[in-house]
């Protein structure tokens, strides 16, 4: 990206606003961020579903370099001796019955069958490791290219500083922000121009923490990459640890998405969606008549 292009895309800390129909609109998301966001949605969805397909080929997790087959840290399987058989998920020595979802779930014909994650959440639905890997690596490439464009733009344009780094005042009022967040009181007016401190920290951790860790943990599982970047194995504590961390970070990303989507819905679904589709977001519905708390 040339510097002229970056200049053209640059937005200042105070975004453009417009007053139309007694509403105050703010131009919240530049086009490049919107495009990257939706490509990312597709990539993460497919990466998750194909990742669970791959996990199902050996639904057990270990710490260290190698697999200790009799003693996994976590595993999903079926107790075939039980009458009727049941799905069992074990994590750190604690077992849970998860029949119907984990360990034992219905196949295409409706019969209960032993498999890690159920067919409605894996890609492909049926057990097919080879095809799952194809989907996973293809969309991993797309995800990495998309993420690289997003990061280059975010840093060069100053968007990241504005979006992800809390201001001094925000740090000082972090307690009050947490309380408002928990009470589901959403900002309006001038306050809604910027992300609050919890949003900033969450996006910071996800974009610059979890997602890069996820890529590195994925690469640490590659025997080819291990010959070039053996330090990745050291960083994660061995290949099986990297696989376990890859799984845990995927869970954390799912948790993030659940909370993110819930808050998008609760804080004004259509306004939020318009913001991420067209860029424009309403921060004040009836100007000056609704004081924010």
Partner 1 sequence: MSSRKIMFDRRRIVTGGAALLGASLLSGCDDVSEKPWARRILDKDEDANLYVQRLLLSDQKLAPEYPEAEISPQFKANGNDDPKDKAYRGMVKTGFATFKLAIDGLVERPQSWSLPDLRAMPARTQITRHDCVEGWSCIGKWTGVPLGDLLKAAGLKPAARFIVFHCADTMDEGGLDALSADDADTSGDDATPAGDQAPASTGQTKAPDAKIAKSAGGTGDASDVGSHYYESIDLVDAFHPQTILAYDMNGMALPVAHGAPLRLRLERQLGYKMAKYVMRIAVVDHLDGIGKGGGGYWEDQGYEWYAGI
Applying CB under 8 A, the residues found at the interface with partner 1 are 42, 46, 49, 54-58, 60, 62, 65-70, 123-125, 127-131, 133-135, 137-142, 145, 219, 221-228, 230, 233, 239-240, 243
| Least CB distance to partner 1 at residue 137 (A) | 4
- Between 65 and 95, CB nearer to partner 1: 65
- Between 17 and 67, CB nearer to partner 1: 67
| Least CB distance to partner 1 at residue 150 (A) | 14
CA distance 25 to 17: 5
* 258, 72 Cβ separation under 8 angstroms: no
How many alpha carbons fall within 13 Å on the CB side of residue 95? 10
Largest CA distance in the chain: 70
CA distance 260 to 277: 16
| Least CB distance to partner 1 at residue 37 (A) | 14
Phi first, then psi: give them for residue 278, nearest 5 degrees: -100, -15
Phi first, then psi: give them for residue 157, nearest 5 degrees: -85, -10
Q: Which residue has the tokens 């080819």?
A: 224
- Between 51 and 268, CB nearer to partner 1: 51
- Between 26 and 61, CB nearer to partner 1: 61
| Least CB distance to partner 1 at residue 195 (A) | 28
CA distance 197 to 220: 33
- Between 189 and 238, CB nearer to partner 1: 238
| Least CB distance to partner 1 at residue 99 (A) | 20
């Amino acid at each position: 990206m040339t510097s002229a292009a970056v200049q053209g895309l640059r937005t200042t800390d105070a975004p453009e606003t417009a007053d139309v129909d007694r509403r105050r609109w703010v131009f919240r998301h530049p086009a490049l961020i919107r495009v990257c966001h939706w490509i990312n949605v597709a990539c993460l969805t497919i990466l998750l579903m194909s990742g669970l397909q791959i996990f199902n080929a050996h639904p057990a997790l270990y710490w260290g370099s190698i697999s200790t087959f009799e003693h996994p840290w976590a595993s999903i399987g079926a107790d075939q001796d039980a009458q009727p058989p049941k799905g069992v998920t074990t994590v750190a020595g604690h077992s849970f019955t998860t029949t119907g979802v984990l360990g034992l779930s219905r196949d295409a014909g409706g019969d209960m069958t032993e498999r890690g994650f159920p067919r409605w959440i894996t890609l492909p639905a049926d057990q097919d490791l080879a095809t799952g890997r194809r989907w996973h690596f293809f969309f991993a490439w797309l995800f990495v290219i998309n993420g690289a464009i997003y990061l280059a733009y975010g840093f060069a344009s100053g968007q990241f500083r504005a979006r992800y780094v809390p201001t001094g005042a925000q740090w000082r009022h972090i307690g009050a922000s947490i309380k408002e967040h928990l009470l589901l009181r959403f900002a309006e007016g001038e306050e809604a121009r910027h992300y609050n401190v919890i949003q900033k920290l969450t996006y910071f951790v996800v974009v610059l923490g979890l997602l890069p860790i996820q890529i590195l943990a994925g690469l640490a599982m590659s025997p080819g990459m291990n010959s070039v970047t053996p330090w990745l194995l050291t960083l994660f504590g061995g290949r099986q640890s990297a696989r376990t961390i890859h799984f845990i970070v995927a869970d954390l990303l799912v948790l993030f998405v659940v909370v993110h989507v819930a808050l998008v819905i609760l804080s004004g679904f259509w306004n939020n969606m318009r913001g991420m589709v067209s860029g424009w977001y309403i921060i004040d519905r009836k100007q000056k008549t609704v004081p924010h708390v």
